[in-house]
Chains A and B, each alone.
Chain A
Amino acid sequence: MTLLSVENVGFAYGAGRHVLDDVSFTVPRGANVGLVGESGSGKSTLLRLLLGLDRPQQGRILFDGQPLETRRATYMRDYRRRVQAVFQDPYSSLDPAHRVQRIVTEPLRSLRLPGDHAAMARQAMTDVGMDPAALSRFPHQFSGGQRQRIAIARAIVARPELVLADEAVSALDLSTRVRIVDLFRQISTRMTMVFVSHDMGVVAALCDRLVVLDRGRIVEAGPTSRILRDPQEPYTRSLLASIPRMPAASQPEGQST
């Protein structure tokens, strides 16, 4: 079952050159798909289109079989309930003036969802490994990793079908990054995820399918294990070869290239 389908999408800002050119891929329901690319690859623009913040100029995006109707308010409200996002910077994505309770329940209020919002917030906090008591505190009282957990709690509180993560662990320190990647793996078993990142290691640890983007085009797409083991395109090969690896245990010297 395909949850998200991107069909021949093209996009340009103003009269400039194409930021996205004939981009097509699908996200099966329940899958974790990684969109990988360096700066200028078009991955951020693609994410904006998936969030419904911009509309493709060519092609179309289907969610659950229906084209995105970004201009219909009732459609977009339903879309926001079903599709949520986690962003890169946990320091700027949480409103510092509000208690965590208000931040985490924000989607429930703005989408006017029924139910016991406080109980749903407590459940979401438990799901991300935070003490529900944290709901009564303010964002500045938490570390970067904890803030990203709060951002994830906000993303999952309305029980979305799809979570879009934009460089969601890139701003975190290494040890925190591993823990948040583990958390994403854990919650991804219950929903579909699209993980946008420049970091191939993180995407490889999280996603079963990869879409490699370069300068607005899909270079290569397929199962993560196949792409890592046997990259078909020169760009993918050079990308993989450029990633610095830890020295092997047997290596006698701090090796250099």
Chain B
Amino acid sequence: MLLDIADLTLGTRDTTLVQGLSFSIAPGERFGLIGESGSGKSLTALAATGLLPPAIRATGTITLGGEPVLGASERRLSRLRGAAVATVFQEPLTALDPLMPLGRQIALPVRRRLAREGGDTSRPAVAREVRALVEQVRLPDPDRLIRAFPHEVSGGQRQRVAIAMALACKPRLLIADEPTTALDVTTQAEIVALLTGLVRDEGIALLFISHDLAVVGQVAERVLVMRAGRAVETGPAARVLTAPEEGYTRSLVAAARRFDTALEGGA
């Protein structure tokens, strides 16, 4: 298993936020974590990358690429992030440096990875890689984009830049936390298709976190439904989203289908 989470409990001094959570993701697998607000899904993602806020206490085990995450030193973790895991967040505007051209931001993880691999970190070599990544995430007009600042491009283009930065690390696991929630629906469809295609082509495992059942259905092979910090139901996406067994999942699926039905013309 690439990511193995066993009996994970997270909480502050007086509140339990995630309780007894266990799941694992195989190399190359696309896994969906579904939950409404307060379900603990984003906190779980932070825990998997060793980015928990200091006030959160964690018990249980998280193993990523064979290495323990909980209790690991910051040095080990920072090597793990990048090499094993990269994250794409909901709002790319806050994830990007507003004062740095996009090309230079993509160059940072590129240079770090080349150094790690003992590769060529010269300016032209890095620039070539940046250019290839920009094309891989199908950003239009690469020359302009590389020089542009985050506020000069659209939300969808910023998210493509964030995906390029994640890919630059050549991670084995990509975590995408509500990556399309802030985007328009037409842009969302493009980003979902891009992300799914890239991880499949590159053999990268994907942990896709979303409250949107239909989007998760398009992306994930296997899903876990969380509610109030606990796992409610897990299984193949096609089964959980069409024949949910737990009452809570059934109510979520029914709610999602309600709007689908309305779109088919039956209010």
Contacts and interface: CB of A to CB of B under 8 A. Distances in A.
A50 B245 CA distance: 46
Does more than half of chain B's interface fall in helix, strand or loop, or is it mixed? helix
B241 to A, nearest CB: 5
Contacts of A38: 184-186
Nearest to A201: B259
Interface stretch (A1-9, A20-28, A245-253): A245-253
Interface residues of B, number: 44
B189 A257 contact: yes
A224 B155 CA distance: 29
Interface stretch (B130-138, B159-167, B168-176, B210-218): B210-218
B255 A246 contact: no
Contacts of B48: none
Q: Which of B238, B243, B251 has the most CB of A within 10 A?
A: B238
B62 to A, nearest CB: 25
Interface in B15-74: 30, 36-37
Given A252-B238, A257-B196, A242 B188 contact: yes
A177 B255 contact: yes
Contact of B259 (A205, A229, A240): A205
Interface in A194-211: 198-202, 204-206
Interface string B238-252: 100111000000011
A186 to B, nearest CB: 13
A228 interface: yes
Interface in B197-243: 211-215, 217-223, 236-238, 241-243
A238 interface: yes
Interface of B: 30, 36-37, 155, 184-186, 188-189, 192-193, 196, 211-215, 217-223, 236-238, 241-243, 251-253, 255-260, 262-265, 267
